[in-house]
Structure formats: C-alpha cells, structure tokens
C-alpha cells in the first residue's frame, strides 16, 4: 500500500500548528486514495507527542528519540529524515514550510532521489501526478505545478489548511539511527533568541505588524500595547527590521515569514508586494496609513486613513474597554 509521510516540526515541546494543518490535508488525501498516513517525530520528546499525531490521523508514528534533534542543525536532521523516508518508502512526503524544513528540503530530495514542490498553497493527488498551486512572482501569480516522479516532497505554507482531528492508530515505530558528529563539517555555536517574542508569529490568531510609519520607540510602544491588548504576535516590515527597531524574526513577507491570522493590523506599512506576499491571506486586514493611496488599502478589509500616532492611542483605549467587558 502507498502512504503519505508527514514530517512534524516541534517547537517549545509542541507540534507546530502548521505541521498539523498540512497533516490534516494529507489525511484527507490518504483516505480518499486508500493510502496509509504516517508521521515522523524526531527528538528526545518524540514519543510523548506521538499521541497528538495519532489524534490527527497517523496510522503509524515513526520516531527517533535522539537529543541531537532538539536544536536545529541540518546535517543530523538530514541523516534522520533520510533514515525515516527510507524506512517508510512513501509516495508523498508532506511538511510545513518552516525555516528548519526549508533548510533541508533540497538536500533531502537529492539524497532520496525525490522531486520537490516547495512552499505550496494547496496540493492534491491526481492519478500518477502530484499537483500543487504555489505563489510565484512575490505572490502576484499562482503557478500550477506538477510532478509524476515516483517520490515527491511537498512543503506547505502556514494557514493553507484547517487543523482537523481524525483518529488514527498512532502505532509508535522506533527507527534505528546512528550519527557520527565528527563527520559533520559544521557545528552550532550559539542560538540567539530575540527578546520579547512572546507569541509565535506563524501560529498567531492576531498579528500586529509595524512599518516605517511607526518610526521610533514611542511608536513601537503603541504597537506593543495594541498587541498585548489583542493577544497578538508582533510582525514587522523589512524597513523597520533594517533600522533595528524590530527583530529579524518578526519580518513578514517574501524574505520573512508567511502568516495568515484571523486579524492582521498593518500599521504604517505601504504594502509593497514583497511584504504582502507574506500576509495577503489573512482573514481580516486592518490598515492604518496616512497616505490614502498606499497600496495596502487595496487589500484592507478596514482601512483607516490617518496618522498612527493619533489613531493608536484611541484604538488601544477603545479596545481595552471592549476586552475588559468580556
């Protein structure tokens, strides 16, 4: 029997929502094709999370309980994923398009002799072909792309599918793995976390994003306040990442992250294609910009024409009242 293998990314001891989104869709496809659904979990806590994978449809959960996977390093991850893909010999491998996955996807495809459809917005099985739609040209176009290669890897943009629970057997299978760190050629010296990342951007239901119009620390304080009132993660345009006002992990867009929250505030952001490539699929977009012709207004569900330094204090006060009454 054919199968779909889902690589599950783990962060802060949990399976990332984007991984469960991709797996939920993979489960739908697997059931329709009469294929099995398998999941992969790597790291010292891998077995503890197998139950979650089973609750989202996994028939089998392939685990490698090795602490080498607890912080991201591409060489051991490649070796681990190679072992798992070879053990499962699936038709299709599905992963969320996280930075860790992007780091290894191409190399893994060479190693496993696979074709890759990266960063897709949707995918399906059509007979012998795996077909996807993926944003190109800074998301100004959507390219329908396909592969009939016997093994295909697909990475999925966050927010492309809903998470759906579905009971699978969730049988845990330990995959043998040995790794010689001396052969690596690279070492991880340090991980630098940016302070104040309280809510994970790609998982957040509400995102408050700041652009050049936010200008300085006093503007940032207003943005921080709006985020804390609404329980939002903080995003940023490239302009304010470049000036150092916001950390690079907050960057949304072609270079940065892809987000699709229920509510997106674009504060002092013009709406360049390279920015909107990362946020155009948000459900409700609120734009605050003093230029009535800013392109961000073309996407905005609600556009407010005005100075964010005037609007934000009023908006924060008003939202605080509404939230307090809940």
Ligand X SMILES: Cc1cc2nc3c(=O)[nH]c(=O)nc-3n(C[C@H](O)[C@H](O)[C@H](O)COP(=O)(O)OP(=O)(O)OC[C@H]3O[C@@H](n4cnc5c(N)ncnc54)[C@H](O)[C@@H]3O)c2cc1C
Window 275 to 314, contacts with ligand X (CB under 6 A): 275, 278, 288-291, 294, 307-309
The enclosing H or E element of 53 equals helix 50-55
What is residue 252's DSSP assignment? B
Task: Considering only the stretches 74-82, 121-129, 208-216, 222-230, report the one whose residues sit in contact with ligand X under the rule CB under 6 A.
Answer: 208-216
The enclosing H or E element of 126 equals strand 122-126
Task: Considering only the stretches 63-71, 170-178, 189-197, 264-272, report the one whose residues sit in contact with ligand X under the rule CB under 6 A.
Answer: 264-272
Q: How far is the CB of 132 from ligand X (least distance, A)?
A: 22
The entry of other proteins, ligand X, none that residue 142 binds, CB within 5 to 8 Å by partner kind: other proteins
Q: How far is the CB of 198 from other proteins (least distance, A)?
A: 12
User: Strands 10-11 and 14-15: what pairing?
Assistant: antiparallel
The entry of ligand X, other proteins, none that residue 290 binds, CB within 5 to 8 Å by partner kind: ligand X
The entry of other proteins, ligand X, none that residue 253 binds, CB within 5 to 8 Å by partner kind: ligand X
Q: Does position 135 bind ligand X by CB under 6 A?
A: no
| Residue among 253, 295, 237 nearest 270 (CA) | 295
Window 134 to 193, contacts with other proteins (CB under 8 A): 134-147, 149, 184-193
Q: Does position 116 bind other proteins by CB under 8 A?
A: yes
Which CB atom, from 135 or from 256, has the smaller least distance to ligand X? 256
Q: How far is the CB of 253 from ligand X (least distance, A)?
A: 2
CA pair distance 284, 299, nearest whole angstrom: 9
CA pair distance 176, 289, nearest whole angstrom: 56
| Residue among 282, 155, 264, 161 nearest 209 (CA) | 264
Q: Does position 199 bind other proteins by CB under 8 A?
A: no
Q: How far is the CB of 48 from ligand X (least distance, A)?
A: 35
| Residue among 159, 257, 243, 278 nearest 201 (CA) | 257
| Residue among 194, 198, 317 nearest 246 (CA) | 194
Other C-beta atoms closer than 10 Å to the C-beta of 310 total: 11
Contact of 208 with 299, CB cutoff 8 Å: no
The torsion angles phi and psi of 75, rounded to 5 degrees, stand at: -60, -50
Total residues contacting ligand X by CB under 6 A comes to: 28
Q: Does position 36 bind ligand X by CB under 6 A?
A: no
Q: Which residues bind ligand X (CB under 6 A)?
A: 211-213, 237-240, 251-256, 268-270, 272, 274-275, 278, 288-291, 294, 307-309
């Amino acid at each position: 029997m054919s199968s779909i293998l889902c690589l599950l990314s783990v962060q802060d001891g949990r399976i990332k929502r984007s991984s469960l989104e991709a797996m939920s869709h993979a489960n739908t496809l697997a059931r329709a094709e009469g294929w099995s659904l398998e999941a992969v979990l790597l790291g010292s806590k891998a077995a503890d999370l197998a139950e979650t994978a089973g609750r989202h449809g996994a028939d089998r959960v392939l685990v490698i309980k090795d602490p080498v996977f607890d912080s991201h390093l591409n060489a051991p991850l490649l070796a681990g994923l190679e072992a798992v893909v070879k053990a499962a010999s699936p038709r299709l491998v599905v992963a969320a398009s996280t930075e860790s996955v992007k780091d290894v996807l191409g190399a893994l495809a060479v190693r496993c002799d696979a074709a890759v459809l990266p960063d897709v917005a949707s995918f399906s099985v059509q007979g012998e072909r795996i077909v996807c739609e993926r944003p190109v040209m800074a998301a100004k176009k959507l390219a329908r792309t396909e592969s009939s290669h016997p093994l295909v890897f697909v990475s999925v943009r966050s927010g492309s599918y809903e998470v759906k629970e579905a009971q699978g057997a969730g049988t845990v299978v330990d995959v043998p793995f040995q790794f010689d760190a001396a052969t690596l050629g690279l070492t991880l010296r340090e991980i630098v976390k940016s302070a104040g990342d309280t809510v994970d951007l790609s998982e957040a239901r509400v995102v408050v994003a700041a652009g050049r119009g936010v200008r300085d620390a006093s503007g940032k304080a207003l943005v921080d306040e709006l985020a804390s009132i609404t329980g939002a993660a903080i995003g940023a345009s490239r302009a304010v990442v470049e000036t150092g006002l916001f950390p690079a992990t907050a960057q949304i867009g072609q270079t940065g992250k892809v987000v699709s929250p229920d509510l997106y505030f674009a504060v002092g952001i013009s709406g360049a294609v390279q920015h909107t490539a990362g946020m155009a699929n948000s459900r409700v977009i609120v734009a605050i910009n003093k230029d009535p012709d800013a392109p961000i207004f073309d996407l905005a569900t609600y556009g407010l024409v005005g100075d964010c330094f005037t609007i934000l204090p009023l908006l924060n006060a008003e939202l605080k009242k509404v939230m307090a009454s809940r």
